[in-house]
């Protein structure tokens, strides 16, 4: 077990820095915090002493006085970590590693557990909260009586008074379809997942918008579940009924993987005969596909960064607005949608 030998080493305190620099505690504090009531020479001495002792202020003591803890709670229901990890990374970027630390709690989709975790976070006096859901459907608000700022990420709150950040799935559907059209595709079908999901519906809207704008008709649109198996079955059925299809918008990368498999089984060449595009840009699926899969990236890291910035601004008392904000998504082009010819 690490540290058993020197477990006793106490951290350096401001008192020791002050003593080494030959000044009072208050002067040392002011010197280190860049306040301009210290002579340059004195500041120099204090800074030197601090770095010599490798002093770092105790955030507990600091927070006790300031009323701030420098911590933020990240409350997630995303069991796989597929969404929460990029969001966490974005948040770390925005907070500046070390300045603010993040408590990550997994509610595991359980409301009771979520309430429990929420209470635990609040009793730890987090300065703010980011709530991450696992789908883009509105989720129940945590309520308005929370003493710290809350930002909902990925899954928006069902209360418009809350601030929510979610990927713009309508745009995602539109961008995907526009990309296919730009590649010369005209007979486009849409295979998506569970129609109960807002993500499925929103992307479908975007797909139709793009087609309408281009004066095209949607060849077919089917929904069922977010799995490769469904992608395979749906594609087989689709190509049997509509052999003329030259592009498939798939509601997720998993479905797209299934579509690629079936196309291959049927001897259809991707992207020459059929283009395939997915959503989420889940690298393990997209970069390993044959051919590599074009996908729409939800920019989750950017979303996390924005969420963190909003929480920060709100902590500083700024008004950061409310309502659900749709954040831009990004097309990642790979081999599965190369233009014809």
Kindly list the residues in this chain that would bind DNA in the complex (CB under 7 A). Answer: 10-15, 22-27, 29-30, 32-33, 35-42, 55, 57-58, 61-62, 64-67
Tokens of 305: 């960064």
Among positions 255-284, residues that touch a copy of itself (CB under 8 A) are 257-258, 261, 282, 284
Query: Residue written as tokens 């930002």?
Result: 151
CB count within 10 Å of CB 267 equals 7
Helix-strand-coil split of the chain, %, nearest 5: 40, 20, 40
Burial code (b: 16+ CB inside 10 Å, e: under 16) for 95-131 equals beeeebeebbbbbeeeeeebeebbeebeeeebbbbbb
Residue 117 interacts with, from a copy of itself, DNA, none (CB under 5-8 Å by kind)? a copy of itself
Displacement of CA 226 from its chain's centroid (Å): 20
* Widest Cα–Cα separation across the chain: 86
171, 254, 294, 302: which one binds a copy of itself (CB under 8 A) = 254
> Among 25, 47, 104, 222, which residue sits at the site for a copy of itself (rule: CB under 8 A)?
104
**Least distance from DNA to the Cβ atom of residue 292, Å:** 51
> Nearest distance from residue 85's CB to a copy of itself, in Å?
3
Pick 32 or 188: Cβ nearer DNA: 32
Q: Which does 121 bind (CB under 5 to 8 A by kind): a copy of itself, DNA, none?
A: a copy of itself
Size of the site for a copy of itself (CB under 8 A): 85
Q: List the interface residues with a copy of itself, window 39-58 (CB under 8 A).
A: 56-58
| Nearest distance from C-beta of residue 21 to DNA, angstroms | 9
Determine whether 67 is exposed, middle or buried from the number of CB atoms within 10 Å of its CB (0-12, 13-18, 19+). exposed
**Minimum CB distance to DNA, residue 107 (Å):** 24
Output the smallest distance, CB 46 to a copy of itself, in A.
18
| Segments in 156-224 forming alpha helices (H) | 169-182, 198-213
> Is the sign of the CA dihedral 130, 133, 139, 142 positive or negative?
negative
Nearest distance, CB of residue 69 and DNA, angstroms: 12
Using rule CB under 8 A, residue 240 touches a copy of itself: no
């Amino acid at each position: 077990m690490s540290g058993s030998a020197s477990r006793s080493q106490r951290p350096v305190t401001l008192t020791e820095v002050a003593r080494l620099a030959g000044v009072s505690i208050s002067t040392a504090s002011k010197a280190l915090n860049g306040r301009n009531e210290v002579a340059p020479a004195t500041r120099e001495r204090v800074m030197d002493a601090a770095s010599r002792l490798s002093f770092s202020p105790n955030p507990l003591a600091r927070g006790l006085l300031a009323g701030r803890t420098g911590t933020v709670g990240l409350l997630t229901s995303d069991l796989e970590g597929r969404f929460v990890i990029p969001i966490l990374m974005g948040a770390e970027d925005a907070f500046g590693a070390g300045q603010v630390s993040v408590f990550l709690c997994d509610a595991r989709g359980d409301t009771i557990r979520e309430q429990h975790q929420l209470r635990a976070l609040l009793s730890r006096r987090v300065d703010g909260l980011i709530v991450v859901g696992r789908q883009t459907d509105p989720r129940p608000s945590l309520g308005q009586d929370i003493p710290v700022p809350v930002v909902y990420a990925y899954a928006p709150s069902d209360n418009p008074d809350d601030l929510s950040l979610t990927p713009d799935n309508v745009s995602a559907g539109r961008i995907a379809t526009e990309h296919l059209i730009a590649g010369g595709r005209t007979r486009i079908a849409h295979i998506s997942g569970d129609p109960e999901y807002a993500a499925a519906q929103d992307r479908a809207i975007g797909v139709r918008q793009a087609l309408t704008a281009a004066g095209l008709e949607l060849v077919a649109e089917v929904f069922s579940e977010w799995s490769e198996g469904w992608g395979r079955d749906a594609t087989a059925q689709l190509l049997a009924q509509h052999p003329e299809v030259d592009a498939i918008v798939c509601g997720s990368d998993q479905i797209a993987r299934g579509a690629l498999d079936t196309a291959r089984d049927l001897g259809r060449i991707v992207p020459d005969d059929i283009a395939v595009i997915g959503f989420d840009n889940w690298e393990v699926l997209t970069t390993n596909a044959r051919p590599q899969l074009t996908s729409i990236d939800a920019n989750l890291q950017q979303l996390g960064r924005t969420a963190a910035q909003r929480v920060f601004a709100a902590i500083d008392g700024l008004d950061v607005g409310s309502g659900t904000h749709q954040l831009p998504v990004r097309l990642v082009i790979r081999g599965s949608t190369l233009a014809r010819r």
